[in-house]
Amino acid sequence: MIVRTPSQRAALLDRSRTVTVVGASDKPLRPSYVVFSYLRTQGRFAVYPINPGVGEIDGIPAFSSLAAFAREHGAPDIVDIFRKPSEVVGIVEQAIAVHAKAVWFQYGVINEQAIQRADDAGMDVVVDRCLKVESARLNGGLAAAGLNSGLITSRRTSR
């Protein structure tokens, strides 16, 4: 099912416990590192990097593939994809093979064939959204500067 609404995304996140980040980087300036690090430190999910070119990220062992991850931990709830759109059909096929429940295509990772394949396989599919942003937004941890300001109004305070 293509997950389109905020309530559908919230329900997906609520029922998910394990996230694999395909293409997670060990370079702190890369978006895939930022998302991996944020999700890992929130304590909401068990988060694992999938990257054959990296041994570990912040002390967390990286897996070379979704199959390698699944052999050790079973099927992930969410496969979060940080790869070129031209590479994602194969990743979706791997996600299907390991019985992942959902595929999350990060901002700009749009491949209609991969999206359709995941949907046809009965997976939950989130397209062109950031897992970090959605997780923070749905849990009250995102404001204009990306920080939880604690403000309930959009009006500026007097100085």
Question: What is the side-by-side order of every strand in the sheet holding 46-50?
Answer: 46-50, 18-22, 78-81, 102-105, 124-127
Rounded CA gap, 79 and 145, in Å? 27
Q: How does DSSP classify residue 77?
A: S
pTM value is 0.86
Looking at residue 87, its pLDDT comes to 94
Q: What are the residues whose beta carbons fall under 8 Å from the beta carbon of 127, sequence distance 6 or more?
A: 2, 105, 110, 115
Flag residues of the chain having pLDDT under 70: 140-159
Tell me the pairing of strands 102-105 and 124-127: parallel
Tokens of 12: 């997906």
pLDDT of residue 151: 46
Per-domain boundaries in the chain: 6-138
Lookup result for tokens 């996600």: 95
Q: State the pLDDT at residue 152.
A: 47
Tens digit of pLDDT for each residue in 86-127?
Answer: 999 999 999 999 999 999 999 999 999 999 999 999 999 999
Q: What is the pLDDT of residue 44?
A: 87
Query: Class of 6-138 per CATH?
Result: alpha beta
